[in-house]
Amino acid sequence: MKRVFFYMIFIFVIPIFLHAGLNDYKIIQQAQQAYKDKKYDKSIALLKNLNRDTPQVNYNLAESYYKKGDYKEALKYYKRAKGEGVDEHNRLYNIGNCYFELGRLKDALKSYDKSLKIRKDKDAQHNTRVTKKELKKKKKQQKKKQQNQQKKQNKKQQNKKQNQQKKNQNQQNKNKQNKSSKDNKQNKSNQKDNSKKDKKQDNKQNKSGQKGKEQNKQKKSKEQNNQNQKGNGKENKKEQNKEQNSKEKEKPKFDKQQKNSEPKKPKEQKPKPASGASESKEKPKKEEKKGVASMGGEKENMEKKIRQRQMKRLLKKMGGQKMPTLMYQTVSGKKHPNSTNINPW
């Protein structure tokens, strides 16, 4: 950075001294000495005591502020220092330096370009190159910052999404667990209810089965009794039919015997035939006697058979038990009419 502080002071020392007197001259010397001793606050205070708003004083104040590091105040006084007695190239150059220190690189480049238009200078050219490089770096840094910020934002959003997803997943898992626990409880209660219902149904079925078995047993016993009664009835009917048939068969024979047994009216005596005729009449008489005896034997056989059948029925009904104490009347007291000695003639 170019130093014009002392040069400008020495230029305007005589005019200030001539117009203001010895007091202003002493103040300027003290400010110069303070600047050399790097007592910039003292130099600034002495210059401000002059109460002179001239380009030279403003330029010297800007130099003191710049050395102090207060670039804003330096920039303010450099802008006021435009006028007579101040080199415009140096003023613009120093303004560019203030902008550079403040980080306003684009404004610094503009000031350097203006100073180079007035006069080409190696320092100004050097500072323009440095400023351009810094601009590129700053752009890169800004891009990186933006990228980093974007990455951070993306990460935050991703983390938020992931956290939200985790929360949702946890909530879903909780809901599933609650549902599963409820379902298990419901299933258990349903199983208990079903088991109770099954037990009740089993008990009902067992009871109904027992009742059905008893009913079946009763039905079977009834059917067996009915069958036995039917069988006995059939047998009785058969026997009755047989007896009736046998009686019907015996009736005509018996009637014939009665007719034969009735006494016949005596016929008129006829003359006796010859001996051959008498023999022929005796033969049919003998044959009739034999027929009557055979009829009586057949009837007795039939009665015996009927008695034997009745005994069998009684034994079946008794189921193999012993005979009762009552005596069965095996022989009737009545005599068959055929058992009498019939004299048909």
pLDDT digits (tens, 9 = 90+) for 241-300: 777 777 666 655 545 555 455 444 444 444 444 444 444 444 555 555 555 556 667 778
Helical axes 22-36 vs 55-68, angle rounded to 10°:
30
Mean pLDDT for the chain?
A: 75
Could you please report the per-residue DSSP string of 196-244?
HHHHHHHHHHHHHHHHHHHHHHHHHHHHHHHHHHHHHHHHHHHHHHHHH
CA distance 124 to 66: 17
CA–CA distance, 311 with 282 (Å, rounded to integer)? 45
Tokens representing residue 303 in the block: 């009665």
- Helix and strand counts by DSSP (H, E) for the chain: 9, 0
192: pLDDT strictly greater than 70:
yes
Q: What are phi and psi of 331, to 5 degrees?
A: -125, 125
- pTM to 2 decimal places: 0.44
Q: What number of CA atoms fall less than 13 Å from residue 118's CA on the CB side?
A: 13
Residue 69 has what pLDDT?
94
CA angle 156, 158, 162 (to 5 degrees): 115
Domains present along the chain, CATH in parentheses: 5-141 (1.25.40.10)
What is the Cα–Cα distance from 318 to 310, expressed in whole angstroms? 12
pLDDT (tens digit per residue) in 92-107? 999 999 999 999 999 9
- For the cut 80, the answer to whether the pLDDT of residue 133 exceeds it is yes
Largest CA distance in the chain: 239
Tokens read off for 192: 């208990």
Range from 88-92, 110-114, 146-150, 220-224 carrying the lowest mean pLDDT: 220-224
Residues 108, 111, 112, 116: what is their CA dihedral angle, to the nearest 10 degrees?
170
Residue linked to tokens 């078995």: 213
- 300-331 CB burial, b ≥16 within 10 A, e <16: eebbeeeeebeeeeeeeeeeeeeeeeeeeeee
